[in-house]
Amino acid sequence: MTTLIGTIRESLRYKGREGQIAWMGHRLAGLGTLLFFVIHVVDTSWVFFAPELYSEAIALYKSPLFLLGEVGLMAAVIFHAINGLRIAVMDWRPQLWKYQRQISVATFAIIAILFVPAFIIMAGHIIEILSSGAGGVAGL
């Protein structure tokens, strides 16, 4: 546990700029996506194992907190996918390493460009769901 706290502290202190931000973001987005993935596979398996429980899980996904989480998940996946593509390309073509900073900045720009339309469309869905009263589960 001390190594974990030390790692977090030193990661925040270390001035690694774009490359380090991309590296930390990749880990955080990957771990967050994995956590959601595990929950999502378990609740989807209830279609077969426990259909009534599946209805409750879907009602929870239509609550404000989970709708917000859905937008965060979209951001995490876009970040992890595009930054992961950068990692694969850089490993494949080491002659690009001298441009690593510019490529990292370009990667952030592509992530932002992809996220904006996704955010606008998903915000539209959220407004529709909440105003139609379909957003179940009181208090969330």
Give whichever of 103 and 118 is closer to other proteins, judged by the CB atom. 118
**Does 100 sit near other proteins (CB under 8 A)?**
no
For the bound state, the minimum distance from the C-beta of residue 53 to other proteins, rounded and expressed in Å, comes to 9
Per-residue burial over 34-43, b = 16 or more CB atoms within 10 Å of its CB, e = otherwise? eebeeeeeeb
**And the tokens for 1?**
């546990």
Binding other proteins (rule: CB under 8 A), the pick from 10, 48, 95, 138 is 48
Within 35-89, strands assigned E span none
Q: How big is the site for other proteins, counted in residues (CB under 8 A)?
A: 43
**Does 20 sit near other proteins (CB under 8 A)?**
no
Binding other proteins (rule: CB under 8 A), the pick from 92, 95, 98, 139 is 92
Residue (of 69, 76, 92) closest to 26 by Cα position: 76
Task: Report the distance separating Cα 40 and Cα 93, nearest Å.
Answer: 36
Give whichever of 103 and 122 is closer to other proteins, judged by the CB atom. 122
Task: Report the distance separating Cα 129 and Cα 65, nearest Å.
Answer: 13
C-alpha distances (whole Å) from 33 to each of 71, 72, 99 are 12, 10, 29
**Does 42 sit near other proteins (CB under 8 A)?**
yes
Contact 23, 84 (CB under 8 A): no
Give the binding site for other proteins (CB under 8 A). Answer: 3-4, 7, 27, 30-31, 33-34, 37-38, 41-42, 44-49, 51, 54-55, 58, 61-62, 67, 70, 74, 77, 81, 84-85, 87-88, 91-92, 118, 121-122, 125, 128-129, 132, 134
